Each structure stands twice: as structure tokens, then as C-alpha cells.
Structure 1
Amino acid sequence: MLSKRVALILVTAIAPAVWGTTYLVTTEFLPPERPLLAAVLRALPAGLILVAITRRLPRGIWWWRAFVLGALNIGAFLALLYVAAYRLPGGVAATVGSLQPLLVALLAVGLLGQKLTLRTTLAALAGVLGVSLLVLRANARLDGWGIAAALGGAVVMATGVVLSKRWTSPAPLLATTGWQLVAGGLLLVPVALIVEGAPPASFTTANLAGYTYLAIIGSAIAYALWFRGIRALSPTDVTFLGLLSPVVATALGWIALGQGLTSAQILGGVIVLGALVTAQLKKAPTPAPIPQPLVLAGRN
């Protein structure tokens, strides 16, 4: 039987695995050049549904905490993510984003008092190497603003993960998740209107199916599992699971879209999975010393 911790890790891993399907859903089901609209419709309806189900609003300091966490984990992160996606090849954006486990480990030292171990550092660096082999291309172009947006997205998400652990909400998990999705979605609304204009007058059936999938599966369920993992596990352990997203995205591109898969990509995927597993391993406790029999001087 799986241990409770392993079961929590596997359930939490569902979230980044689901997020790895976002690229396929976006390219195959959603209208083109509307990434911020997709972010709004992914976050806001899901948050409103969860708030309606739980019938729980923030109280006291949780009004501003929910706003801050929603901005970091949802609003600012998705906005910066889509800026990076527009200005950079996907491989470059994903490689910069893979710095997140190392950023979380560093922030956890100052905000949570955790120790930064050599194994965590090496696993984080291996994760960056693995993702770069998996998705980076030799002819990838670099853009200063795109790099800044990708790095900013990794920083705000890492900060949100660590603060989500530091600020443990007394409310039910689904309520807290709903607050953050609503806050993040509301922040994205004016940005989407300014950048992309009003939404299309109508959507196709495929568009509606894609938006529904992203809102219900990709946000309401996935974020609830993600935040549940943060509550129960170390934030460093949880954020390493995010490396699954590019692995799933690459695998789906190969399986569903007929994209090629090189030996370097296969090696990168193996390195990513190795780094992920290594980061989850816990150091065995040092056994207590066996007490020695007391020898009294002067007695036979």
C-alpha cells in the first residue's frame, strides 16, 4: 500500500500534468491570438463556481491575503506567462520557467526557515537541464522583454507557492482556491480588454469545449489539488512536480499532433523525471545511539 506522503505527491502531480495539456487545448480548440481572454475564462468562472459551492467569503486579513495570493498564483503569473509565450519560442519560456523549483527553495529559506540542501539544488539544476533538452531548440531567438516576463512569471509563482504555505487559510480548501481564482481573474479582465479588446461576438462549439475544460479541469480541480499539496507537503517538493508540465506537453505533441521526438528530448525527459523523483526522496533519520552499559570504577 502506498504511504500517505506518496499518495499526496501522486495526487498533487495531477495538477501540473493537467496543465501540460493546455498547449494542445489552446492550439486545437481556442480562437487564435486570444491568450489573455483564455486566462480570464480559465480563472474567473472557475473561481465563481467554487465560491458559489462553498458559500464562503474571506474574513478579516484574508480579504487582502486572498487578493495577494490570487495576483501571484493566478493573475500576474498568467499575464506574464502569456507575454513570454508571445515574445519567446515556447522552449525558451519553458526553460526559464523551470527555474521555479530553485526559486521556491531559496524563498523557503527566508520565509519558512527551511534549509537549502545540496540535493535540492542539484535536482533543481538538473530539472532546468532536462527541460532545456526537452523543449529548447538551437535556433531559438531571445527577446529581452520576453526573458524578463518569463523570469518574472517564475518569481511571482514561486513567491505565491511559498506564501500559500506560510499563510494557511482557516477556510476550506475549495473556498480558498475559489478566492484566488476570482481575484486573479478580476485582475486579468482589464488587462485582456486593453490588450486584446472585446471578446468575439460568438464562440464555436469547440471553443466552448476548450474553455470549459480549462475552467473546470485545468483550474477548479487542478488548482484545488495543487493548493492541497502545498498545505500538506513542503512547497519545494510540490513545485518540483511542476516540471511534469513540459513533459506532458511534449508527449501529447508527439502522440496527438504527430510531432517528432528526438533522442535529446527523450534524454531530457528522463533527466526531468529523475530530478523530480530525487527531489521527493527524504533523508533517512539518523538512528539514535545505543546506550552503553555504565561501568563503575572500583568494582569487579
Structure 2
Amino acid sequence: MGATQDRGLSGRALAGFVLLALIWGSTWLVIKDQISATPPSWTVTWRFAVGSIGMIALTIARRESLRLPPGGMVLAAFVGLAQFFGNFQMVYRAEHYVTSGLVAVIYALLMVPNAALSRLVLGTRMSGRFVAGSLVAMAGIALLMVQEWQSVDRAHVLTGVGFALGGLACASVANVAQATQAGRRMPVVPMLTWAMLFGTLADALFALVVDGAPVIETRPGYWAGVTYLALVGSVIAFPVYFALIRAMGAGRAAYNGVAVPVVAMALSTVFEGYHWSALSIGGSVLAMLGLVLALSGRR
């Protein structure tokens, strides 16, 4: 790993972490509302269609060119299919079956596949403390899954967790692609704009095949949620996150996920009626302690 990734967090990086935790901690609950009446395939499509318009506007506002260096379109298509198609199609389906807070906690483990793929693709080393912390965090996640297993239909829990893990794998592939030398050569915002456009196209084609003709929700709250997820959860958040990946590497950038579940589960408690038990409290604490331990050891 390069020297830039080995230094401690700068003030700018820390600010980025806090911003991402607040934004993405809230998006999980908004997604839950988005899938209540509209097929998830079309909801994802509308989100990134609006997001793509926002990304184009951001690129123009920054006076950047949408032209990418050689190989840029291939990378953008790869990232778009992994991040904005595979990842989000699975995330939205996961929330049909389990609470938004639990999906957020599962995604807090993004650092684990990120670090493993970085090791495989980029040769990045993993410390013993990182491995130990990751195992502790996964034990905490297991306790939370047991809590869900006892409270709702078990087949739903397995299905929801399966979708969440599938989305996690897609997100990790996109993250590591950003950390490669080819990814670092690409301008963040223009590349992300093309990636979102490619992802939106794939989402629309998938929605047509799976759910038929476009479904357009008339509820104002739905479109308010789409706008929030597109502009705040995507246009603002993803450039910050992808910049962190390039500066710090995919493994360390994913540490923002440590704080995201705290926000998400607090909101889930208030708005979804999530009931805390000794099991869920212990699982949450164990997961967070494990992730913090992993963070302290990954330098």
C-alpha cells in the first residue's frame, strides 16, 4: 500500500467520514419507505436517473470535462454495473425482508471484503489486529442475525441477509476497482458520472425485464425520498467516498461504515419500531468493538 494510505486520518478525511456516516446512516430508512409501493427495480432506476442528472450538473459546475482517459469508459462501465446496478438492486430487495438497521450493520462489514480483495488484487497487507477485529465484528453480526431470526419469519431473514451479502460483494468489487492504478488515473467526478449513467441504463433494462413497464409513483413523499437519495445520498456522498478510496485504499475508506449503523439503528428504533434485547445490544456492541479494533490495526 502506498505511503498516503499509511498515514493517520487528516482533518479533511475525518470530516468526510462524519459526513458519510450522517448521510448514509439516514439513507437506509428512506430506502425502506421507497420500496413500500413501487417495485425496487424501478425505484433504483429513478434514483440513479435523477442522480445522473445531478452528477452531470456537478461536473459542469466544477468545469470538468466528461471525456475520460483511455480505458476510462471500460472502468466506468465496470464500476457502474457493480455499484449502481448489482449493489443497489440487492440492497433494495434486502430491505423487503429485514430491518434497515440490520442491513446497515451488515454493510458495516464492507471493510472485510474490501481488505481481502485489496490483498488479492493490490497486494495490500492485513495486520493480525485487523483480522482479529474483523472476526469479533462478524460474531456481533451473527448475534444480530439471531435476534432477527427469533423475531420474524426465518425464511425472510435468510433471504434478506443473502441479498445484503450479495450487494456487499458487488460494492466491494467496485470499491477495489477505484483503488487500482487505473482507477486512480481517472478524474473522480466525471468517471463517477459515467458509472452512474451506465448503472442507470442497466437498472432500467433489468426493471423492464423483471417488472414490465415503468411504474411511476404519484405520492409526493416518494419523490422527495428519491430526490434525497439521488442528490444527497449519491451526488454528494459518492464523490466524497470514492475520493477517500483513492487517497486511503478501499479497506480503510470502508471504516466510515463503523458509525453508519449507529445512526441507522437509532432511526430504525424510532421509525420502524425495532425492539432492543440483551442479544441485539450485545451483538451491536460486539460488532462495533470489533470494527474499531480492526480500524486500530489496519495501518
Tell me which interval the TM-score lies in, with the shorter structure as reference length.
0.7 to 0.9
- Superposition deviation, residue 146 in structure 1: 6.0
Distance of 1:60 and 1:283 partners within structure 2: 33
Distance of 2:298 and 2:87 partners within structure 1: 33
Contact 2:104 2:264 in 1 (8 A): no
What is the 5 A alignment of 1:64-75? 64-75=74-85
Distance of 2:258 and 2:109 partners within structure 1: 10
Counterpart residue number, 1:141: 154
The match for 1:89 among 81, 98, 118 is 98
The match for 2:201 among 158, 166, 186 is 186
| TM-superposition CA deviations, 1:76-110 (whole Å, max 9, x none) | 11123334444x53488667655532222221112
Counterpart residue number, 2:263: 248
Contact 1:36 1:192 in 2 (8 A): yes
The match for 2:132 among 122, 129, 133 is 122
Question: Which moves more between the two structures, 117-126 or 244-253?
Answer: 244-253
TM-score normalised per structure 2: 0.80
Consecutive unaligned residues in structure 1, runs of 5 or more: 285-300
1:89–1:233 distance in 2 versus 1, CA, 3 Å: same
- Superposition deviation, residue 227 in structure 1: 0.6
AA at the equivalent of 1:205: P
1:272 aligns with 2:287: yes
What is the 5 A alignment of 1:1-300? 4-5=9-10, 7-28=12-33, 31-55=36-60, 56-57=65-66, 58-86=68-96, 88-90=97-99, 97=107, 99-134=109-144, 136-139=147-150, 141-142=154-155, 149-166=163-180, 167-281=182-296
- Superposition deviation, residue 48 in structure 1: 2.8
1:242–1:95 distance in 2 versus 1, CA, 3 Å: closer
Distance of 2:11 and 2:144 partners within structure 1: 26
| TM-superposition CA deviations, 1:46-88 (whole Å, max 9, x none) | 12321233243234210111000111122111123334444x5
- Superposition deviation, residue 158 in structure 1: 1.3
Distance of 1:190 and 1:230 partners within structure 2: 29
* Helix, strand or coil at the partner of 1:199: coil
* Helix, strand or coil at the partner of 1:210: helix
AA at the equivalent of 1:162: V
* Helix, strand or coil at the partner of 2:210: helix
1:50–1:9 distance in 2 versus 1, CA, 3 Å: same
| Aligned CA-pair RMSD | 2.9
1:161–1:187 distance in 2 versus 1, CA, 3 Å: same
Distance of 1:148 and 1:26 partners within structure 2: 18
- Superposition deviation, residue 8 in structure 1: 0.7
AA at the equivalent of 2:240: L
1:266–1:196 distance in 2 versus 1, CA, 3 Å: same
- Superposition deviation, residue 221 in structure 1: 0.9
| TM-superposition CA deviations, 1:171-200 (whole Å, max 9, x none) | 442222222211211111111122223334
Question: Which moves more between the two structures, 254-263 or 94-103?
Answer: 94-103
1:40–1:243 distance in 2 versus 1, CA, 3 Å: farther
* Helix, strand or coil at the partner of 1:168: helix
Consecutive unaligned residues in structure 2, runs of 5 or more: 1-7
Contact 2:32 2:95 in 1 (8 A): no
- Superposition deviation, residue 7 in structure 1: 4.3
Higher relative contact order, chain-length normalized (CA < 8 Å, sep 6+) = 2
TM-score normalised per structure 1: 0.80
1:10–1:280 distance in 2 versus 1, CA, 3 Å: farther
Distance of 1:33 and 1:202 partners within structure 2: 7
AA at the equivalent of 1:231: R
